[in-house]
Structure 1
Amino acid sequence: MDHSLLSLEHFIFITSILLIIGVLTTKISSKLGVPALILFIAVGMISGSEGLGFIYFDNAELAQIIGIIALVIILFEGGLQTKFSTVKAVAKPALSLATLGVLITTTLVAVAAKLILDIGWLEAFLFGSIVGSTDAAAVFSVLKGQNVKERLGATLEVESGTNDPMAVFLTISFIELLTIDNPSYVILIGLFFWQMGLGLLIGFIFGKIGVYSINRINLDSSGLYPVFAVCFALLAYSITDFANASGLLAVYLAAMMIGNADLTYRHSIVKFNEGFAWIMQILMFIILGLLVFPSQLFTFDVIWKGLLLAIKLILVARPIAVVFSIIRMGFNWREKIFLSWAGLRGAVPIVLATFPLLAGIEDSQMIFNVVFFVVLTSTLLQGSTITPFAKVLNLTGPKKVESTHSLELVSIGKANAEIVEYEVNEESLIRDSTIKNIDLPKDVLINAIIRQNDLVTPTGDTQIQTGDILYILVSKQRKNELNEVLKM
């Protein structure tokens, strides 16, 4: 048999097995109360050359490329489900944490890294920059479906979605300071404003173009709309990166603009990207698990240094950054404690730790291993205790319900009607009303009700109850009127 064909077969077989294990791992993680990304990393480490020996992988450049693409998809999916109203309510504290908070965290961790790792100041600040930001993949994954108070959850999600550019900028800047003779500090400061400003501008432009294109172009299959949408995320990142600006910020803003628009096939787009984000998250963390070698990671030297730095990060640097970043912003002491504890580290620090490796920075392998250990400690310790911690601090709200969505009637983009799925909760205006007493717009019909897993055929006298799932047929022209009735 041809060897190359055999290698391809092995690659496809191993990839399928790893993805199946990754998907099943999500179920195990929920039962164990351990963040899924920890188990994804464990799958990678076990599958590697120092585990079962299925795969030998030490290509930091390829891992970096895969990691960045995965982060683009994950940020896009998170942005699609972030409402502008939510962002507006938490913009000030979230953006302060994403900028000032990252700078404070970077500085405090750098001081500890200088002492513990016995490295130069520039290398210490490089280490602090790498672990300075919270991670969108980790935060989105851990908070999804949890009933943490909305303001706190939104602050953490917006912070994690917007602080990656600051961490990337600081990391690249310190690498340049270490590798370039006579670097210009003025140029570096100007570069920061260039990256942030142009990233926002390009994200806004591609968000607008994306919404217009999705709604105006009739594609032959509804399955093409989710693919079409994600293309704008990849395009926004690549063009912004070509311009030496913040591609991740552009992606997040473009995603929010697309997600907050009145969009054709919204449900298909959101659900496709939710699944796609899971695939990329599984792939990314397995690859990162393959990249690290346990014999280098779990040494006494790395363990004690990593633990000390993780403790400094979790119990000192993050809390101080939170306190100074959100002064006089309406958070009480319990909420500040929770925001401090929920500052998860994840894929971004590990991906950023590959930058010094590729740049040939002295002690880069040691920095990578310690960063990896700090991330494992942060995710395992903080990620597995966020919900119980919120309950102890009495910071949980009502149980979250799935957002409403539309079920497409046909497989092409030419239908003028949708079936809206709506779950009735305790705050719903139509709760306890009979259907005949609900002021539904013209050409709107409640077709079916699912009540405690049973199908109820609606009549005028049917009373709407908490927990009911309604399937409502509505013309696109009347959808806004229906939203007003349901207050969706």
Structure 2
Amino acid sequence: MHTTHTMIAVSGILLLGMACQWLAWRVKLPAIIFLLACGMLVGPIGHWLHPDELFGELLFPFVSLAVAVILFEGSITLRFNRIPGVGGVIRNLVTIGVAVTWVVTTVATHWLLDYPWDLSALFGAIMVVTGPTVIAPMLRAVRPRESVAAILHWEGILVDPIGAVLALLVYKFIEVHGVENGFIATAIVMLKVVAIGLGIGVAAGWLFGTVLRKYWIPKYLHNVVTLALVCGVFTASNALQAESGLLTVTVMGIFLANMRLVELEDILEFKESLTLLLVSTLFIVLAARMNLSGFLALGWQALGVFLAVQFIARPVSVQLSILGSKLSMGERHLLAWIAPRGIVAAAISALFALKLEQNTGNDLASSLVPLSFCIILGTILLQSFTAGPIARWLGVAEPEPKGFLIVGATPFGLALAGELQKNGVFVQIADQDWSAVRAAVMRGLQAYWGSPVSEDADINLNLTGIGYLLAITPQSERNALVAHYYRTDFEPDKIFTIRNVQTNNVKSLEKTRFKYAGHYLFPDTVSLENLEELLRQGAKITTTPLTPEFSYEQFQTQADMKRLPFFAIDPNGYTHALGVKPEPTPKAGWKIMAVTAG
């Protein structure tokens, strides 16, 4: 392919991937739907993109490295202290659950598609993996209880290398079938994969964690060194034993995530962005490789396999895995419903289909890819559209995030919290001052005592149902730190603070130093000190309902220095900041909160 054409193709893939991600964000649908549609449009339908010709022999090494980076990014979020008492369920799902899913899928594939047992077993092994890159956005949309979310998140990461290893063992068995001592050879492969994966993974995780903890690498190199190390460790592991690399990088990530005093925030942020790019690219490239005739050749039997995976394999595996657990019936049913397949299943199916074709000449091997994409699309479409309503119907969805986290139990913060609660808004107070926390508790407020930017807060500060952050401690620096720390937990337009000073010099300094400080409430001339002085003089925080007879315009004409409006609550219970763009337009049925002089 001509160099110019190659550059156009690669750039086009990246642009299309980001366009699909943006479209998915706009219409609130899983990005994979648009990515697969786009890949098929530019590939088998439009014949504009030919991945095998474009990448040549680099295609599958690139796919393998990309999957390794994706799994590593997921694994460094797996911290043992965040498992809310469901470790046994997670263990069972990645052992008993994997076995059940493998057997059911294998039998269904053999009976419905008339595949030989060995090829059916390989497809069953591929389908045990769930999609961490699909589960994460689904969990954000569904907002299930913490226990369910933790189980699905951990399962999605841990089961992928297990599925890859299982697929490798089945493939190895197919390869040595009929050869003397074939079973022993397969067992040796399994032992080598586990030993190499655990050994190199733990060693690499400990070594890199020590390097980070002792600051032997400058911070600006953390991201690129991490990427290089993941690729190097993955490649070295695979060189020692094929397909052991995924287990290695997963173990390495989990070990790093659970090391003490190792800062991973910047690395995680970089890896999240890189993963988004890689997932988008992989789905388009792999979808573009498909043959439409392969889809059509599967017929209705492919639908039968999907139904077996969704309605037999998953429910049975979950029910056996949660025996003896304290999960409610609603939580059990939701777990039995959610198990989308994603990019790892697509990549593994493409890889082993190619190996089978090249090494065994199996004519049916090429059908593994379209069959895998049928299951991927089916599980994602069905579960994405139904998981939310099912979770709400079962009563296991968390409430809408309309509540406030107020950091700083100042007199103004306590007064505001009390008024918000009167309007049905949940409020969580956080402060390091025990006397201030006690004052909040005495007012009937839920309060956290400790630093909100600490590991203890990550574990014990409950953000369930909270969608807004208000940082109003007496220190501007601390407010900025809090806003920066929680910038990934809250939408940017839902992080607020109040000025602590009024001099132009300090305000200018704040603007240059605290770019994550959030949106300022109140005009420039109003500071937290002003507001608390008003409270000492008898001012109160009041709520005024708007009616057809009393509009927001009429309220504004009455507002003066004795009334400082700052929040508007709409009929659905969502809070909007007045004076912050995009400015809301309160109507009848809304309520206006203001500081009203006594």
TM-score by length of 1: 0.79
1:342-421 map, 5 Å: 342-354=338-350, 355-360=352-357, 361-397=362-398
For residues 187 and 33 of structure 2, the distance between their equivalents in structure 1, rounded to whole angstroms, comes to 36
Q: 2:464 — aligned with what?
A: none
Letter in structure 2 aligned against 1:102: V
Q: Would you say 1:15 and 2:14 are equivalent positions?
A: no
* Alignment CA distance shift 1:174-1:400 (3 Å): farther
> Residues 319, 193 of structure 1: CA spacing in aligned structure 2 closer, same or farther, 3 A cutoff?
farther
The one of 173, 180, 185 equivalent to 1:177 is 173
Q: Deviations over 1:187-233 (max 9, x none)?
A: 4345434423442332222111111212334555x432111223332
Structure 1 match to 2:39: 44
Choose which of 104, 112, 117 in structure 2 pairs with 1:121. Answer: 117
Letter in 1 for 2:74: G
- Identify if the C-alpha distance between structure 1 residues 112 and 210 changes in structure 2 by more than 3 Å, giving closer, same or farther: same
Contact 2:201–2:250 (CA under 8 A) maintained in structure 1: yes
* Letter in structure 1 aligned against 2:237: T
Match of 1:483 in 2: none
Match of 1:292 among 290, 293, 298: 290
Give 2:353's aligned amino acid.
P
State the secondary structure of the residue aligned to 1:81: coil
- 1:458 is aligned to 500
- Go from structure 1 to structure 2 and tell me whether the alpha carbon gap of 1:190 and 1:390 turns closer, same or farther (over 3 Å shift): farther
Instruction: Note if 1:235 corresponds to 2:247.
Output: no
- Cα distance between partner residues in 1 of 2:27 and 2:450: 46
Q: Aligned to 2:107, which of 99, 108, 111?
A: 111
Asked whether the equivalents of residues 302 and 373 of structure 1 are also in contact (C-alpha less than 8 Å), the reply is no
SS at match of 2:86: helix
Distance in 2 between residues matched to 1:24 and 1:176, nearest whole Å: 40
User: How many angstroms apart in 2 are the aligned matches of 1:32 and 1:308?
Assistant: 30
**Change in 2 beyond 3 A, CA 1:307/1:63:** farther
**Aligned Cα root-mean-square deviation (Å):** 3.5
Whole-Å separation in 1 of the counterparts to 2:148 and 2:232: 32
What code does the residue aligned with 2:10 have?
Answer: T
The question of whether the paired residues in 2 share the 8 Å contact of 1:223 and 1:268 is answered with: no
Which residue does 1:85 correspond to in 2? 81
Identity of aligned residues (%): 22
Q: What CA distance in whole angstroms lies between the structure 2 residues aligned with 1:328 and 1:439?
A: 35
The answer (yes or no) to whether the contact 2:298–2:371 under 8 Å persists in 1 is yes
Which residue number corresponds to residue 281 of structure 1?
279
Q: Determine which structure has greater relative contact order: mean sequence separation of CA pairs < 8 Å that are 6+ residues apart, divided by chain length.
A: 1
Deviations 1:434-483 (A, max 9, x none): 79x99889xx95424679566522378588x9999xxxxxxxxxxxxxxx
2:152 is aligned with 1:156:
yes
Q: Is the 1:357–1:365 Cα contact (8 Å) retained in structure 2?
A: yes
How many angstroms does 1:101 deviate by? 0.9
2:106·2:117 contact (CA, 8 Å) conserved in 1?
yes
Give SS of 1:200's match.
helix
Q: Secondary structure at the match of 2:45?
A: coil
Is the contact made by 2:430 and 2:450 (CA closer than 8 Å) also made in structure 1? no
Determine if contact 1:34/1:380 at 8 Å carries over to the other structure: no
Secondary structure, counterpart of 1:163 in structure 2: helix
Letter in structure 1 aligned against 2:34: L
Q: What is the DSSP-based 3-state SS (H/G/I as helix, E as strand, rest coil) of the residue aligned with 1:55?
A: coil
Take 1:119 and 1:41, find their aligned partners in 2: how far apart are those partners? 26
Contact persistence 1:98–1:160 (CA under 8 A)? no
Structure 1 partner of 2:30: 35
Is the 2:113–2:302 contact (alpha carbons within 8 Å) kept by the matching residues of 1? no
Q: Deviations over 1:114-141 (max 9, x none)?
A: 1111122222212211212212232234
Mind listing any 5+ residue stretches in structure 2 that lack a counterpart? 406-425, 440-448, 454-473, 484-492, 502-527, 533-566, 568-573, 577-598
Q: Given the alignment, which residue of 190, 201, 215 partners 2:213?
A: 215
Alignment of structure 1 residues 183-194 onto 2, 5 Å = 183-189=181-187, 191-194=189-192
CA shift for structure 1 position 303: 3.9
**Structure 2 SS opposite 1:223:** helix
1:63–1:291 contact (8 Å) kept in structure 2: no
Asked if the contact 1:138–1:344 (Cα under 8 Å) also holds between the matched residues in 2, the reply is yes
- Say which SS state the counterpart of residue 385 (structure 1) adopts: helix
Contact 2:89 2:325 in 1 (8 A): yes
Summarize the Cα distance change of 1:34–1:302 in structure 2 as closer, same or farther, 3 Å threshold: farther
Inter-CA distance 388–439: structure 2 relative to 1 (3 Å threshold): closer
Task: Indicate how the Cα distance of structure 1 residues 101 and 176 shifts in structure 2: closer, same or farther if over 3 A, else same.
Answer: same
State the distance in 2 between where 1:70 and 1:400 align: 34
**How much does 1:431 deviate?**
9.7
Cα distance in 2 for residues equivalent to 1:105 and 1:199: 23
Give the aligned residue type for 1:323. Answer: Q
User: 2:400 & 2:121 partners in 1: Cα distance?
Assistant: 41
Residues of 2 paired with 1:123 and 1:314: CA distance? 20
Q: 1:165, 1:196 within 8 Å by CA — same for their partners in 2? A: no
> In the comparison of the two structures, how many residue pairs are matched?
434
Is contact 1:146-1:400 (8 Å) kept?
no
Question: 1:421-432 counterparts in 2 under 5 A?
Answer: 426-430=427-431
Task: Choose 1 or 2 for highest CA Rg.
Answer: 2
